Amino acid sequence: MVAAGIGVVVAVAGPALYLVQSWHAEQRELEVSARLHAAVIAQALQSPSELPWQQRVQGLLDHDLVPHTLPERRTLTDAAGSLVTGTAVATPGPALRAGAPLVAPGGAVGELTVTRSMRPVLAQTGAVALFSLGLAGAIFAVLRLLPLRMLQGALDTLHAQQARARRELEQYVHGVFEQSVDGILVCDGQGQVRSGNPRAAVLLGMPATALAGQPLSRWVALPADGPTAVGQHETQAFHGPTARAFPCELTLSRLPVRSGDARFVATLRDLTERRQAEQRMQRLANYDSLTGLPNRSLFRDRLGQAIERADRSGRPMALMFLDLDRFKTINDSLGHAAGDRLLQQVAATLSAALRGGDSVGRAGPAAEDAITVARLGGDEFTIIAEQLHEAADAWRIAERVQKALQTPILVGKHEIVVSTSVGITVYPDDNSPPDDLLRHADQAMYRAKEGGRDQALFFSAEMNDQAQHRLQLEAELRHALERGEFQLVYQPKADLQSGRVSGVEALLRWKRNGQTVTTPDVFIGVLEETGLILPVGRWVLEQATQQVCAWRRAGLPWVRVAVNLSARQLRQGDLVATVAQALEASGLPSAQLELELTESMLMGGDHQAALLHRLSALGVQLAIDDFGTGWSSLSYLKRFNVDTLKIDRSFVRDTPHDPEDNAITSAVIALARSLKLRVVAEGVETDAQRQFLLDNGCDEMQGYWLSRPLAPAAFEAWWRAHLARTAHDAAVTA
């Protein structure tokens, strides 16, 4: 059939194509011939002549302007269609005809027609048909007589390739079946297991041969529709020997088979590790990684639930905010690793004290009272105590916590006793939203710290008012420097022997809103916490050094000016550069600048020691302010390049009438003299105090007996008067 079809196409297509192409070629050539002859005759008619145009065209059609091989006859008719002239060539049919208008100078006068016989073309087409028929017969014969063996060989090769591909596919499917990380069970329509892969045997704890013939429901909890519930399901499977249930993902799919017997494939994926990972992620999201206690996120959730339960039960709920006392000092001195271990021990102690498992315990006078302990961050912990009978129950819980923390905690080689300040607020007495409850407990905790630490205090409305006042204070302080509201006042220090002014201390004041002058005890703490102390401290250094130089230019003698430093300034990286810039900008000799620090600021160890040595290298003087009220230690006096000790006013106040203050003051003076340090007594207000200090060898005094702190202009006037009085007294004495 293929050979015959090809033969027919060749036999028909050859002559047909030849005839069509020849016919179209002759037609185009005939049209060209007609237009060309018409153009030649029209050209001949352009010249003037007395003869009619019919006589003038005689003989013009006899010349072949277009070469051709077919019989061609050319005729010329006038406008009425009458024959004017023509050639005598016969054009037997079939024939092709083409015409062109004949145009004289006066317009169209007739039409020229060319007729060409196509009989020779038909004869040639017949010859082409005979050739095509012979060619078709030859093609048919060749195709029909091709060896069938070649076709059979190609067919055999195709079958072999298909068989090999089938075997490879079967091996691949078998490999997937055997090596799959998921358990695969093939079941019939009734849910009976026909076969299983090794992973299914491991998951179910049975040999693969033992699984065959058993119902799938024996090993897997199936959906309600049984094994025909095609799709993905989360369920549980059972480990045969132990009957242990484990979570799994079951995928049921229908297996296409030709026999008509329904088959299903059950794929089992163990979800144990995924569930464990989800639980770990859940724990990381809700529990503190260091202590294992609920974190801030879970705490907020439990606080909201506790408020709802308190509303339903009508029994109060207490929120306690705990902050470890002096934890930063411990953390800085022993290192952050030791601080982390201490926090872990504190968390364990809190949980044990409240008899809680996983941070939730039972406490209080009634068995149903529940307690939750959480860590918010750093050394801050919270306790939610529910189902209280009265507010005093919260107080008892806080006492229990503080008592438990009194037991020394061993961190490495160090035995540490931790105390905590506790702030308490009780709901619904404090009927506030969760965030406000936490803020109120935090405020109560800070009040406990301010009151001496290691105590518990309840929140009150007064505390809230104070917090609002503090926020207002902070907001105003942020603009006080740029508004020029800060000012310095100066309090002199005098030599006890000569009475001459030996120094001056620059003290910061805040003219709040341009009206009320506020003392540092109100705002210095806020400046420290917000970091505003850094730009303000830089401003104080610049103003104080420039003022002393201004007095010198006004004719007054050089005087040593003392400037207080804060702990925040000591921790900044550019303190030495800041001091050097202030000295350079003002022109003050470095020996005329004294920097005052408190004892607690020297607890930073090597870092503070290196910083103070660099300051000493500039030539400035260093003084310890309020000596005796902080972490007094002779080792600090030995390690740091200190020049001056200032005795705190609390020891000077009751001298010379209080024997204990007399002894302390005398001891400090003796200590300073033995270490070759200058000693200054603060808060001298009476002549008896001055005389006592003079008798015990104190070098300098400062206080109201000499002068109150004064503004720069007032201080200059006081100083000039003091110089005149001192000179007069010296002259009288002489």
* Structure-derived torsion over alpha carbons of residues 446, 373, 325, 527, reported in degrees to the nearest 10: -40
Most confident by average pLDDT, 167-176, 230-239, 602-611: 230-239
542 and 685 inside one domain = yes
> What's the CATH number where 565 sits?
3.20.20.450
Q: Fill in the DSSP letter of residue 709.
A: -
Give the Cα separation of 117 and 69 in Å (integer). 10
Tell me whether residue 733 is in a domain. no
Are 295 and 410 within one domain? yes
Among 407, 431, 459, where does a domain finish? 459
Checking if the pLDDT of 148 tops 70, the result is no
Selection from 355-359, 611-615, 688-692 with the highest mean pLDDT = 688-692
| pTM score | 0.49
Q: Is residue 160 part of a domain?
A: no
Question: Looking at the domain assignment, is residue 159 inside a domain?
Answer: no
| DSSP state letter for 505 | E
**What residue type is assigned to position 438 of the chain?**
L
What are the residues whose beta carbons fall under 8 Å from the beta carbon of 730, sequence distance 6 or more?
A: none
593-599 mean pLDDT: 88
Number of structural domains (the chain) is 4
- What confidence tier does 368 reach under pLDDT thresholds 50, 70, 90? very low
CATH number at residue 120: 3.30.450
Burial of 367 (0-12, 13-18, 19+ CB in 10 A): exposed
Strand order in the sheet with 380-385: 356-357, 360-362, 370-377, 380-385, 317-324, 420-427, 456-458
Please say if the pLDDT value at position 221 is more than 60.
Answer: yes
- Between CA 227 and CA 651 the distance in angstroms is 91
Note whether residue 583 is domain-resident.
Answer: no
What is the C-alpha separation between 623 and 645, in angstroms, rounded? Answer: 6
When the pLDDT of each residue in the chain is averaged and rounded to a whole number, the result is: 83
Give mean pLDDT, residues 32-37.
80
pLDDT tops 80 at residue 182: yes
Least confident of 176-185, 413-422, 725-734: 725-734
Helix axes 327-334, 336-353, angle to 10 degrees: 140
Distance of CA 594 to the CA centre of its chain: 47
Task: Check whether residue 322 and residue 372 sit in a common domain.
Answer: yes
Verify that 232 and 298 share a domain, yes or no.
no
Residue 479, CA distances (Å) to 112, 317, 529, 606 in order:
111, 41, 16, 36
Task: Name the nearest CA neighbour of 427 among 317, 314, 311.
Answer: 317
The interaxial angle of helices 533-553 and 520-530, nearest 10 deg, is 130
Q: What domain range includes position 35?
A: 2-141
The pLDDT of residue 167: 81
Q: Are residues 209 and 126 in the same domain?
A: no
Residues of the chain with pLDDT > 70, as a percent, come to 90
In the chain, what percentage of residues exceed pLDDT 90?
26
Q: How far apart are CA 56 and CA 84, in angstroms?
A: 11
Question: Considering 399, 425, 459, which residue would you say is the last residue of a domain?
Answer: 459
Which residue spans within 282-365 are E strands per DSSP? 317-324, 356-357, 360-362
Tell whether 448 and 496 lie within a shared domain.
no
Q: Confidence class of residue 604 from pLDDT cuts 50, 70 and 90?
A: low
Bridge partners of 380, per DSSP, are: 323, 377
Q: How far apart are CA 398 and CA 423, in angstroms?
A: 9
The answer to whether residues 430 and 558 belong to one domain is no
Alpha helices by DSSP H, 145-225:
148-179, 198-204, 208-211
Shared domain for 446 and 510, answered yes or no, is no
Q: Taken in order 7, 10, 15, 20, is the CA torsion positive or negative?
A: positive
Q: Give every CB contact of residue 111 below 8 A, 6+ residues apart in sequence.
A: 76, 77, 99, 100, 101, 102
Residues 17 and 118 in one domain: yes
42/65 Cα distance (integer angstroms): 14
Q: What burial class does residue 161 get, using C-beta atoms within 10 Å of its C-beta: 0-12 exposed, 13-18 middle, 19+ buried?
A: exposed
Lowest mean per-residue pLDDT among 332-341, 349-358, 522-531, 655-664:
349-358
- Checking if the pLDDT of 121 tops 90, the result is no
Does a structural domain hold residue 167?
A: no
Instruction: Indicate if the alpha-carbon torsion angle 671, 674, 675, 680 is positive or negative.
Output: positive
Report the CATH number that the domain containing residue 272 is assigned in CATH.
Answer: 3.30.450.20
Render pLDDT for 187-216 as a digit per residue (tens, 0 to 9): 887 788 888 888 888 888 888 787 888 888
Residue 465's φ and ψ, nearest 5 degrees, are: -65, -40
Please indicate, yes or no, if residue 154 is contained in any of the structural domains.
no
Task: Yes or no: say if 338 and 411 are a contact pair by the CB < 8 Å rule.
Answer: yes
Residues 10 and 80 occupy one common structural domain = yes
**Sequence letter at residue 121:** V
Last residue of a domain, one of 212, 243, 276: 276
Tokens of 525: 């703490």
Q: State pLDDT tens for residues 568-592.
A: 888 776 889 999 999 999 999 999 9
Question: Do 365 and 260 fall within a single domain?
Answer: no
What is residue 700's predicted lDDT score, i.e. its pLDDT?
A: 95
Tally of CB atoms within 10 A around 538: 19
Residue 605: pLDDT over 70: no
Is residue 684 within 8 Å of 706, Cβ to Cβ?
Answer: yes
Tokens of 625: 């302010």
208-212, 429-433, 563-567, 578-582 — which is least confidently predicted? 208-212
pLDDT digit string (tens) for 676-704? 899 999 999 999 999 999 999 999 999 99
Q: Does some domain include residue 584? A: no
Q: How confident is the model at residue 636 (pLDDT cuts 50, 70, 90)?
A: low
Regarding whether 206 and 93 lie in a shared domain, the answer is no
